[in-house]
Structure 1
């Protein structure tokens, strides 16, 4: 993990750096961790009528008779940074391993577009996915990391009880799901790469009002009930203020919890780490199991 920390911090911005410069630095960091594209995939760009941009990764294989299964993937970045390029490194291998289309969402970022903008974009992308030609609406799933894990869980909560196709499963990687203030927020408040103060800054940007901070669709752990949601698979990092968010969500949904001993928030970029390889394999198995 130290190599991951050192490489990531090489792109860190000093205090007082503008948000535009922080986003540019994050993009450079993400590019430094992104390997060359693997063979066997094609990608296409989609722009919805609202202007929302999507990127679809599809295996170079014959389309299944019923259409492709699909995974909607929401990128991390504290709702403030990131985009289609920043998480190319995870979307491509997932599309190959799942032999499915992975759809990445370039949702609007805070603070310019606070809650519920990113969730609205997520819902719009989901509805497009359920109706788009070439997809099997009976075999769809949702996943995401960090703030993207928040949006994936919020999508499942927003869709619960509604008519129309539902995600067959949800896969969340070190998600931000609650208001914090106890447990791992305290014991790992100064963790490398993501501190409790960092999380609070992201929450302030995404949820600028008290009304926002009490909405279960903003922080799913605030929901009175998490029953009736798609089967959840949740990976948590040991040294992460958000560790307990994932644990609590798994307990309340009856999902599968995968611990990451020694892992940090952001460890997903350590592509060759044995634990991260196990995470990817377990995530793929979970999604495929619920498509069967």
Structure 2
């Protein structure tokens, strides 16, 4: 048994090492559809011109515009829904007194690059222009593939001269299509996301595009990007690529706070949100957001 964090050992025993994509794609999509049927009070859903939508979580009423966070869900670019992030988005809004928008972007392989990135860009522009939001204090964040899209959105904003996020909040982001397990022993610690699903997710997302353009970790120039917070567990398949990306950001002069969680697997905070280690992970995210909004 891998050396899981004490708070995560019990749940790790019953979790798969890999979702088994593409074999389970149909089942995962059906589960996503069921999640969308749940009605959650006090959440507005806004349709965007691209065909995507945004779930808006607002703090207690205030007379002044608030900082904001665009949150991008995970799912390997091929599954997932914004509604799966309702608990986390409400927590960010309540803890920080900010507006949080979660984007439901188009999924691959039906909609390969750049469809999902276009949707996230449209959602970010919408959020910046929202009347209750302070436009100079809007961060972008996401988990797994959502973290990869957040990183790509920051790069696109720099390259095109668009409004830049105040912070990249990247939870175990999916950044590099070249990633595989370092060795068989490391793979025993993976949960939910493994090499097979990773290959399928990236192939679906990239389609026929040039990965040197679409993949954040393949970008040679990381200068002039927004400050970043990157959090990842040591038993996450993305651990090595995330640490490398954080090091490259720092070398390029981009402030980057790297939080490495010993014995944590992929998505641990979503699977075990009440665990103490997950609470500390959330507190670290909130601290990074507060600092970015106060600067």
| TM-score category, normalised to shorter length | 0.7 to 0.9
How far 1:198 sits from its partner (Å)?
Answer: 1.6
Q: For residue 112 of structure 1, give the secondary structure of its aligned residue in structure 2.
A: coil
CA gap 1:15/1:125 in 2 versus in 1, 3 angstroms: closer
**2:222, 2:248 within 8 Å by CA — same for their partners in 1?**
yes
| Residues in 2 aligned to 1:178 and 1:290: alpha-carbon distance in whole angstroms | 26
Give the equivalent residue in structure 1 for 2:196: 197
SS at match of 2:75: coil
Q: Give the alignment of 1:147-166 within 5 angstroms.
A: 147-166=145-164
Number of aligned residue pairs: give it: 278
- 2:215 corresponds to which residue? 219
Residue of structure 2 equivalent to 1:71: 69
Using the size of structure 1 for normalisation, the TM-score is: 0.86
Give secondary structure in 2 for the equivalent of 1:200. helix
What is the Cα deviation at residue 183 of structure 1? 6.6
Determine the C-alpha separation between the residues in 2 that align with 1:108 and 1:15. Answer: 17
Give, in angstroms, the shift of residue 162 of structure 1.
Answer: 4.0
Partner of 1:208: 207
C-alpha distance 27-189 of structure 1, shift in aligned 2 (>3 A): farther
Match of 2:149, SS state, is helix
Partner of 1:4: 11
Corresponding position of 2:267: 266
Secondary structure of 1:136's aligned partner: strand
What do residues 162-186 of structure 1 show as CA deviations (whole Å, max 9, x unaligned)?
A: 4443111111000011123467476
Go from structure 1 to structure 2 and tell me whether the alpha carbon gap of 1:80 and 1:139 turns closer, same or farther (over 3 Å shift): same
TM-score after normalising by structure 2: 0.85
- Aligned residue in 2 for 1:280: 282
Q: Does the alignment pair 1:230 with 2:226?
A: yes
Query: Do 1:237 and 1:259's aligned partners in 2 also have CA atoms closer than 8 Å?
Result: yes
Shift in CA distance, 44/252, structure 1 to aligned 2, threshold 3 Å = same
Q: CA 1:59 to 1:185, structure 2 compared with 1: closer, same or farther past 3 Å?
A: farther
Q: Measure, in 2, the Cα distance between the counterparts of 1:14 and 1:204.
A: 12
Give the conservation status (yes or no) of the 8 Å contact 1:185–1:242.
no
Q: CA deviation at 1:22?
A: 2.1
Give the secondary-structure state (helix, strand or coil) at the position aligned to 2:77: coil
Match for residue 121 of structure 1? 119
In the aligned structure 1, how far is the partner of 2:258 from the partner of 2:20?
34
